[in-house]
Structures are given as C-alpha cells and as structure tokens.
Amino acid sequence: MHITMLGTGSAFAKRYNNNNALIEANGYRLLVDCGITLPKALHDFGMDFPQLNAVLISHIHGDHVGGLEELAFQMMFKHQRKPVLYIADVLVEPLWEHTLRGGLTQGDLNSITDFFEVQPLQVGKSYILANGLTVELIQTKHIEGKASFSFLFNGTFFYSADMRFDGQLLQELVERGVETIYHDCQLEPPGVVHACLDELLTLPAEVQEKTWLMHYGDAMEQYADKTGRMRFVKQHTVYDV
Ligand SMILES: [Zn+2]
Ligand SMILES: [Zn+2]
C-alpha cells in the first residue's frame, strides 16, 4: 500500500495544502479527509474526483471536510453518481446538520444519502475497504465535546489525523505491531488541540523511529534538524507503508 499526502499543512498553513492523503492499494484509491483546499490540490496533482473509489473522514473541521460539497456536486452534475463516504457512525448526522446541509440541499434532495453512498463505521471494528486495505477507527481526543477519530490501516499503519498528544496510545500501538505512525505536529507549543513537537520528542526512541510528522505549519523547514528521530512527511512524495 502507498500513501501520498495531497497536503501536509496545518489548518492555517499557506505553503502547504490541507492535511489530506491519497492511499492506494492494488488499484483502489482512498481519499483520507477532504478539506477546503482538496479540490484544487487533487487537480494540481493531476487527478479528478471520479478516479477516487471512496473518501474516509476523520472529524468535522474545515481542513478535513471543507471540500465535500464540491466533491458531491461534481459527482452529481458531471459524473451522475454518488461518492462512497466512510465515516464514523456518530459523525454522520453532525456532518450533514452542521456542515453540509446548507450548501447541498435542493428540492427533494435534503439528506446526506441523497449525495453520498454513506458507509457508517463503528469504533474498534476492522473493515475491509479493498483487497489489501483494512481500516479500524480509534477514537482520539482533539476538541472538547466533539468526536474525532484516528485510523489504523492494515493493523500496521497508524494515521492520527488530528489529535492531542497521547504517548501511551502510541506506545500500545507499537506493541500491537504498528510499524509506521503518521502524526499531526504543531511546531510551536502549546499543543492545546494537537500534539506539539515538544510533546512528541518525549516519545521513546523506538517509537520516534516509526513516527512521521504531518499537519505542520509554514515554518516546517526551520525545524528540519529539531525532530529527534522523527521525520517530516513531504507533500506529494509517495511512501510505501
Ligand atoms: Zn486539521
Ligand atoms: Zn481538527
């Protein structure tokens, strides 16, 4: 399985697109989060919406769901089909009621299932998305009072999306067999709603060696030699995981 970040930026970054990823396994293409910058980022990458098999959503913030309206409308008007949407079951209603309803509703088309083929996911269950690609949702802490999820792909690749620092979880994941961790990283402390670099630097060396940093601010290059054994994921580079 390969992963390419279509963006590696924090919510406020301008040099990097929103932190959204393209995962490919045996010809199947999964978009992980669909932020405000995603439609243009995907176009700049030389791809179009119909080439995606599904989109998987981690939580309801603009840099992760802000591109879903265009995805739905393009697929409806240009391609006459609904995109497959994988999302935690508890987020289906909030995504529609709090984010998408205002823009998408028209006439009798007034529910999320009118625009997406919704596949609700439950925490802790492993789902086969395609040959060679499974996903399990892990609920992690990001914003007080809002559900947010990280992903475990194929039992070996942990993708934090957005979460506060949880060193114990990362240690447990490595003990469970996780080989690669992609973690959001706020460069300057305090972390507040994201893990910050200073917190991630407290991880044991064997966890740091498996950890790649994403969702970073525009000053990333100034931190190139300040990340311990962790490395920055580069936008548009293809990695095997
Ligand atoms: Zn974010
Ligand atoms: Zn967020």
Instruction: Write the DSSP symbol of residue 193.
Output: T
User: What's the whole-model pTM score?
Assistant: 0.98
Q: From ligand 1's centre to the CA of 154, what distance in Å?
A: 23
pLDDT in tens, 38-67: 999 999 999 999 999 999 999 999 999 999
Q: From ligand 2's centre to the CA of 162, what distance in Å?
A: 5
Q: Where are the domains of the chain?
A: 2-234
Q: From ligand 1's centre to the CA of 31, what distance in Å?
A: 15
The ligand with the least distance to the CA atom of 193 is 2
Residues with CB under 5 A from ligand 2 (ion): 61, 162
pLDDT at 65: 98
**CA gap 207, 211 in Å, rounded:** 6
Q: From ligand 1's centre to the CA of 107, what distance in Å?
A: 32
Q: From ligand 2's centre to the CA of 142, what distance in Å?
A: 7
Q: From ligand 1's centre to the CA of 80, what distance in Å?
A: 30
Q: From ligand 1's centre to the CA of 19, what distance in Å?
A: 6
Q: From ligand 2's centre to the CA of 80, what distance in Å?
A: 31
What's the token pair of residue 2? 């390969």
The ligand with the least distance to the CA atom of 146 is 2
pLDDT in tens, 72-121: 999 999 999 999 999 999 999 999 999 999 999 999 999 999 999 999 99
pLDDT at 176: 95
**CA gap 190, 107 in Å, rounded:** 46
The ligand with the least distance to the CA atom of 184 is 1
pLDDT in tens, 148-196: 999 999 999 999 999 999 999 999 999 999 999 999 999 999 988 999 9
pLDDT in tens, 197-221: 999 999 999 999 999 999 999 999 9
Query: What DSSP string describes 25-88?
Result: ETTEEEEE---TTHHHHHHHTT--GGG-SEEEE--SSHHHHTTHHHHHHHHHHTT-SPPEEEEE
Q: Which CATH class is domain 2-234?
A: alpha beta
Residues with CB under 5 A from ligand 1 (ion): 11, 63, 162
pLDDT at 191: 87
Q: From ligand 1's centre to the CA of 228, what distance in Å?
A: 23
- Examine residue 190 and say whether the peptide bond preceding it is cis (omega within 30 degrees of 0): yes
Q: From ligand 1's centre to the CA of 84, what distance in Å?
A: 22
